Amino acid sequence: MPWASISIPEASPQEQSLYLLSLLEEKGYGDLVPHLKGLPEINDGVTRDDVRALTRIVALAVTSTNPEVKEAFEMMVNGGVGNQVVGYGSRWNSQLRILFWLALQNEFKRNDTLVQAIALSNGIWEAMGDEQVTQSVRADVNALFKFFRETNEFQIAKGFSQLEEYPLEVKIALAWTGNESMRNPPPGSRTNLTDYKDKAIPLKVYDTITVSIPTLIKMREQAEKMGWLNKDVNYVVMRIENYIYFPMGPVLNHRKDFNAIVNESGLRASNDIDWQYRQYTEGHRFQGDCATEMSVVDAWLKSLGIGTLNEWTYTIVLARGEKINHSFIIYFDPADRTWKAYQEQIGVLMLNNLRSMGSNEDQQFDFFVDRPPANLRGYLKEEVFHIRIIDGKQYSYDHWVGNMYYQLEDVPYRQIRVMLQKGIPTLTMKQWLFP
């Protein structure tokens, strides 16, 4: 794929930046201009390096032939400003700032929605992190971009589907490295995004709730050694799921005492993939429950360039007033462009159902898909989903939620099973994730 490039006149950096911004206006990207002008790097005086970065961003926009490029820029304009997610957040566009950092160090290909996806998924860290997190994110997004470029070449060499050819929504999901930190662990754990509505995320928390590039590299290397690689992503998912969770979790120590699972920083580590994988390579088993397994599989598949999303289902078995929930990943199958789940994971819902009230495929569940934070507007807005009263007792979900979920309510198990086995069309998923 050719590089996105344009020519600019010889002039001072300030004059060149004005020329580039006027070019955006001329080509129909006028809404992008004030957001670029508002970036600290532009506001503080334009350098030659800034002009080079700005040129790459403008070239990506004006040379594009893929409508997803403009769509991604529109998403940044509409939902990328830091204080749209928290009051103390950046007054500038956090997602565009991530893109600017990427442009300072990398050339972009024409129609390079991968780089836009990384900016869309990671702007929330720039918006909510303290100064140490900001510096770490700047390095991490560049490392992630390099990693996915290399992964794409790895896929080409193996004859696999290429991540650079995925739809925009799949790339956004792929670029999110924070697993389920928007939902689990619950508020008060210090590792949930909602714990930081009024204060900045410190570095030790950011490091805990994101998977690092060195861990992803090790996971990819191990997957190759284990013989898990295959052109058919369904086979890859099956091998990884069976290794970790089925049958009966051979390398997962299934436990619920989450507060006893802590990393070196004293933070809950049930979803700290760096810590979990390091423990595993030292001869220990992964520690946690289905949510831990989901986060480990999520990272392992992303290390291979396979797009994933987190999903959880919840129900109250009316006969007993008993809560049942289960979390697992859904993944993108490029062969038919749908999102699926491993059949054994779908079956766990029925196993729980059988234990509670016998086989009943009409048992209704609420079905949730975690949204990557591509739209910061109202992402942490607090509201509780519906409450059920059974025999005078009130049941409600234990999670505060906002724009971080898509939810289907009261869906029969049979419908969930068919939907996830057949696959959810990626255009449908796109509507769920980015309405």
- For each of the chain's 435 residues, which pLDDT tens digit applies? 688 889 999 999 999 999 999 999 999 999 999 999 999 999 888 999 999 999 999 999 999 999 999 999 999 999 999 999 999 999 999 999 999 999 999 999 999 999 999 999 999 999 999 999 999 999 999 999 999 999 999 999 999 999 999 999 999 999 999 988 887 666 668 898 988 999 999 999 999 999 999 999 999 999 999 999 999 999 999 999 999 988 655 677 878 787 788 999 999 999 999 999 999 999 999 998 888 999 999 999 999 999 999 988 877 665 555 677 888 999 999 999 999 999 999 888 776 655 554 557 777 888 889 999 999 998 987 665 566 666 677 666 555 566 888 988 888 889 999 999 999 999 999 999 998
Q: Which residues of 244-274 are buried (b: 16+ CB within 10 A; e: fewer)?
A: bbbeebeebeeeeebeebebebebbbbbbbb
Identify the CA nearest to 404 among candidates 197, 141, 163: 197
pLDDT the model gives residue 254:
76
pLDDT the model gives residue 317:
60
pLDDT the model gives residue 407:
86
pLDDT the model gives residue 187:
64
pLDDT the model gives residue 318:
54
Beta pairing, strands 252-254 & 405-412 = unpaired
What are the start-end ranges of the H helices in 159-197? Answer: 168-175
Identify the CA nearest to 408 among candidates 315, 295, 307, 290: 315
Q: Domain coordinates of the chain in residue numbers?
A: 13-128, 218-256+299-433
Write down the number of H helices and E strands in the chain: 17, 10
* pTM listed for this prediction: 0.94
pLDDT the model gives residue 90:
94
Separation of alpha carbons 93 and 115, rounded Å: 16
- CB contact at 8 A, 193 and 271: no
User: Can you name the residues that pair with 268 across neighbouring β-strands?
Assistant: 262
